Structure 1
Amino acid sequence: MPVSGLPPYDTQNIFARILRGEIPAKKVFENDFAFAFHDINPQAPTHVLVIPKGPYCSFADFSASASEAEIAGFIRAVGTIAKDLGLEAPGYRLLANMGEHSGQEVPHFHVHLFAGRPLGRMIPG
């Protein structure tokens, strides 16, 4: 059931198609709860997208509708990916966009994992 005010999940969005194997992706990680792959237009030397396997259009949808196991499994997957890629010591940034004002381009909840160089301030002051 979609969160009030949000559109229903679009089963033809690019991430849903990647999950179904219809579109190739350079996989970084996969478990029962998450799939991670390299962004095709990286904004940093390391730019990985991590998506839940369930049909959630946004963080609001995911946090309200996913099971506790899905939420915990997804969050743990993000931590595992960062550790496995050796990003903990130098540092990394997680970013999740939600909605038009944030610039969310794909209506499937996802986080961007950026690393590989100093990233500077999040929002210029």
Structure 2
Amino acid sequence: MAGEPQADCLFCKIVAGDVPATVVRETDNVVAFRDINPQAPTHVLVIPKVHYPDAASLALAEPALAAELLREAGEIAAQEKTVEPGYRIVFNTGPGAGQTVFHAHAHLLGGRGLEWPPG
């Protein structure tokens, strides 16, 4: 069920403290931690503490939480000193787009050139 922790979800286990992560920021509703396979000098995953399979389902069910997640990503970008020259926030949705953990999450990427289009 959306919103409820999923026993087989890696990110739910991180939220519960059952799997370690290098947390860089946490609020009552959001946790952010370093990606274990970084694709840029700054690569932080920003996730809601509640489980939704992707960003669209999170935004549909809890738009205020989706907004908080984006706000926190911006705060982390400032904390990581990636506001200048710029950073990217990416939501992968579905296996064809590279989503491997089906818990809504944003990738905050910065600290190197981020040419467009990606991939």
- TM more than 0.5: yes
Q: 1:15 is matched with which residue?
A: 11
Q: 1:86 is matched with which residue?
A: 81
Q: 2:28 is matched with which residue?
A: 32
The structure 1 residue matched to 2:46, chosen from 50, 64, 82, is 50
Q: TM-score, normalised by structure 2?
A: 0.89
1:101 and 1:9 map into 2 onto residues whose CA distance is 24
Shift of 1:11: 3.4
Unaligned 5+ runs, structure 1: 3-7
Q: TM-score, normalised by structure 1?
A: 0.85
Over alpha carbons, which structure has the higher Rg? 1
Shift of 1:9: 7.1
Matched, 1:61 2:57: yes
1:9 and 1:60 map into 2 onto residues whose CA distance is 18
Unaligned 5+ runs, structure 2: none
RMSD: 1.8
Which contiguous aligned blocks of 4+ residues in structure 1 show a shift greater than 3 angstroms?
8-11
Aligned pairs for 1:67-106 within 5 A: 68=64, 70-106=65-101
